[in-house]
């Protein structure tokens, strides 16, 4: 039942151990689900994985779940626990038993990166030096292997099918939850296991908005739909808009600006170029349309085991200074134009950066 070859997963572990050894870190405790999946080959609720520089990784699995976990992973060293307190006690006891002095924790933007886990870990292990390895792991995950890229390509095909269904269903009177329901119906039936759908019906813009049942489409507003489809836990995402009625004035100008920004971003984003340099050129286009003050800063983010991961130029300013590299999977143009009274305007697709530095489209234009 494993979805990725064992030798690929072990290669990831070897690269991680080499980096830990180079930094003088004895082991890391993985509590984020995406990194847990990256190393074990399967997602799991309440992820907990101890990865030592020397020795085999140890997965901490709830009692009676171990057989199901072992069917889906190459990991063979298992410690079972009965509740959250027992889990933390066994993690801390294992760390003390091996005498680790320097431990890495994955502080990240992952949905499972709850601060309470880290604070509890520090209290239970006061003699251990804790090092943040989140950025190190994310940069390692940033360059995808062919197995990951193929999963992202399949996710892209699923996203396109769902978007085509959604766009045909948008009309006056439908709600954000009506639109989301159409998307989720396709996504789950096509094999997505944890899709994300964000819908914003104007006039009040909300970026990456969870759908509201009482936001109803009416004339003179934008309907913005973002779909994140996953396949084997890897994501591709895309965004499309529909204006209800006939756009005029600033609404028309925002559509034209978005089209030009999208085309320019695809052309400018090539291997070896820094994202910040592309952003500066895109800002000249926003300025031409007098929309600089309406755009969100940052135009691209990575996709993979998370719908948004490194590089995330809208959230982490440091990522704007990264270079475009072969093996990246990225979504652009991520940042919308935000218009009070109309909603938001955005066009976004997922691309893979090929070995020659050119973008390969994963989600096609609809």
pLDDT of residue 124: 78
Domain boundary among 141, 170, 197: 141
- How many domains does the structure of the chain reveal? 2
pLDDT at position 116, please?
65
Question: What are the backbone angles phi and psi of residue 283, rounded to the nearest 5°?
Answer: -60, -30
Residue 240 belongs to a domain with what CATH number? 3.90.230.10
Q: Do 137 and 182 sit in the same domain of this protein?
A: no
Sheet holding 300-302, edge to edge: 309-312, 300-302, 329-332, 349-353, 359-361
pLDDT < 70 positions in the chain: 109-116, 365-366
Q: Is residue 73 part of a domain?
A: yes
Q: Do residue 247 and residue 130 come from a single domain?
A: no
Which domain covers residue 32, as residue numbers?
A: 6-141
Judge if 153 and 230 occupy the same domain.
yes
pLDDT of the residue at 111: 62
The answer for residues whose C-beta is within 8 angstroms of residue 365's C-beta and 6 or more apart is 349
Percent of the chain with pLDDT over 90: 84
CA distance 224 to 326: 30
Q: Which of 141, 167, 201 is the last residue of a domain?
A: 141
Output the pLDDT for position 2.
86
Task: Look at residue 114 in the predicted model and tell me its pLDDT.
Answer: 61
Q: Is 366 contained in some domain?
A: no
**pLDDT value of residue 76:** 96
Burial of 268 (0-12, 13-18, 19+ CB in 10 A): middle
Same domain membership, residue 156 and residue 134: no
Assess whether 297 and 187 both reside in one domain: yes
The answer to whether 88 and 120 are in contact (CB under 8 A) is yes
Supply the pTM of this predicted model.
0.93
């Amino acid at each position: 039942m494993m979805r990725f070859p064992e030798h690929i997963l072990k290669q990831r572990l070897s690269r991680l151990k080499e980096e830990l050894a180079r930094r003088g870190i004895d082991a890391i405790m993985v509590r984020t689900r995406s990194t847990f999946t990256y190393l074990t080959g399967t997602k799991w609720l309440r992820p907990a994985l101890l990865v030592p520089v020397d020795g085999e990784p140890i997965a901490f699995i709830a009692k009676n779940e171990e057989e199901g976990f072992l069917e889906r992973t190459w990991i063979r060293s298992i410690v079972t626990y009965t509740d959250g307190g027992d889990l933390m006690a066994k993690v801390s006891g294992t760390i003390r038993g091996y005498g680790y002095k320097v431990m890495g924790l994955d502080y990240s933007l992952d949905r499972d990166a709850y601060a309470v886990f880290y604070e509890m870990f520090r209290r239970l292990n006061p003699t251990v030096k804790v090092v943040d390895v989140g950025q190190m792991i994310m940069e390692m995950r940033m360059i995808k292997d062919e197995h990951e890229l193929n999963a992202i390509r399949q996710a892209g095909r699923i996203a396109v099918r769902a978007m085509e269904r959604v766009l045909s269903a948008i009309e006056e009177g439908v709600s954000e939850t009506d639109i989301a329901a159409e998307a989720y119906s396709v996504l789950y039936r096509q094999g997505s296991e944890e899709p994300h759908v964000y819908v914003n019906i104007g006039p009040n813009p909300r970026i990456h908005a969870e759908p509201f049942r009482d936001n109803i489409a009416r004339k003179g507003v934008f309907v913005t739909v973002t779909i994140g489809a996953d396949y084997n836990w890897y994501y591709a995402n895309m965004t499309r808009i529909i204006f209800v009625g006939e756009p005029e004035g600033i609404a028309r100008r925002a559509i034209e600006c978005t089209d030009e920004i999208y085309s320019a971003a695809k052309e400018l984003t090539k291997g070896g170029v820094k994202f910040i340099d592309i952003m500066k050129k895109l800002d000249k286009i926003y300025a031409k349309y007098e929309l600089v003050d309406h755009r969100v800063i940052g135009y691209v983010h990575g996709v993979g085991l998370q719908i948004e991961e490194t590089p995330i130029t809208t959230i982490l300013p440091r990522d704007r200074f990264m270079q475009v590299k072969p093996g990246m999977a990225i979504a652009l143009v991520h940042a919308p134009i935000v218009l009070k009274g109309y909603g938001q305007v955005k066009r976004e697709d997922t691309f893979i950066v090929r070995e020659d530095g050119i973008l390969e489209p994963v989600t096609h234009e609809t």
